[in-house]
């Protein structure tokens, strides 16, 4: 099958030295805004990834209030740290959108973590793409179409890879089926970071 035009995969976008610098920047973010355990709306079932954010807004989820963007960390109640410059440069280079990202969601996957098939649909402006960066161990990614049961394409995302969901793929279902432990030495502890840059509000609104 063919994947829609708005899906772009940029393997090896970040070279190894740039990946190391990016991980250092993410560790600084986490020192200020610790990874927390997100929970699904209504059921309160804990997700297997650990989350935090940087940017003026962060995506959060908990049992009581569900999926949303907010300006402060749900545990520390402090504003999120700034988005690292290398990620703002990435957005400028690949997003094709005239305003900067407002949120960068940071997901940490241990070897057992996964991410069920979902759409990123809590933003106000779907004209902006979502841009993702993988760091650390490889993971098996799937992307389908706007319907949950549309046919899916699977691919391995490796450290340094960038994926863009824009245009007709902006609301495509996607997720992480499984981690491939021991495939990268970037993170001493193993596992994987996935960073997703988002524009949440319409510029000028």
**Residues found near Fe ion in the complex (CB under 5 A):** 120
Least distance to ligand MD6, CB of residue 194, Å: 3
Task: Give Cα separations from 5 to 129, 140, 147, 164 (angstroms).
Answer: 12, 21, 16, 11
Residue nearest to Fe ion (CB): 120
Q: Does 52 bind ligand MD6 (CB under 6 A)?
A: no
Q: Which long-range contacts (CB under 8 A, 24 or more apart) does 86-89 make?
A: 86/18, 86/21, 86/22, 86/25, 87/22, 87/25, 87/133, 87/195, 87/197
Task: Give the C-alpha separation, 172 to 117, whole Å.
Answer: 10
Nearer to Fe ion, 102 or 120 (CB): 120
Least distance to ligand MD6, CB of residue 153, Å: 13
Q: Does 176 bind ligand MD6 (CB under 6 A)?
A: yes
Q: Does 194 bind ligand MD6 (CB under 6 A)?
A: yes
Contact of residue 52 among Fe ion, ligand MD6, none (CB under 5-8 Å per partner type):
none
Q: Which of 26, 51, 115, 162 binds ligand MD6 (CB under 6 A)?
A: 115
- Binding residues for ligand MD6, rule: CB under 6 A, are 107, 115, 120, 130, 132, 134, 141, 157, 163, 165, 174, 176, 194, 196
């Amino acid at each position: 099958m063919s994947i829609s035009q708005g899906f772009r995969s940029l393997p090896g976008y970040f070279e190894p030295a740039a990946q190391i610098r990016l991980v250092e920047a993410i560790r600084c973010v986490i020192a200020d805004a610790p990874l927390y355990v997100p929970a699904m709306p209504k059921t309160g079932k804990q997700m297997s990834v650990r989350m935090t954010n940087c940017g003026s807004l962060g995506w959060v989820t908990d049992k009581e209030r569900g999926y949303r963007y907010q300006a402060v960390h749900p545990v520390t109640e402090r504003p999120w740290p700034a988005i690292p410059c290398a990620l703002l440069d990435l957005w400028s280079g690949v997003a094709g959108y005239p305003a900067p990202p407002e949120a960068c969601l940071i997901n940490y996957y241990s070897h057992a973590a996964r991410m069920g098939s979902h759409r990123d649909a809590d933003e106000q402006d779907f004209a902006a793409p979502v841009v993702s960066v993988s760091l650390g161990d490889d993971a098996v990614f799937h992307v389908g179409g706007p319907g949950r049961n549309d046919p899916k394409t699977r691919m391995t995302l490796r450290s340094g890879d960038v994926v863009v969901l824009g245009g007709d793929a902006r609301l495509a279902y996607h997720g992480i089926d499984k981690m491939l432990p021991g495939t990268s030495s970037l993170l001493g502890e193993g596992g994987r970071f996935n960073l997703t840059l988002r524009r949440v509000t319409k510029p000028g609104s």
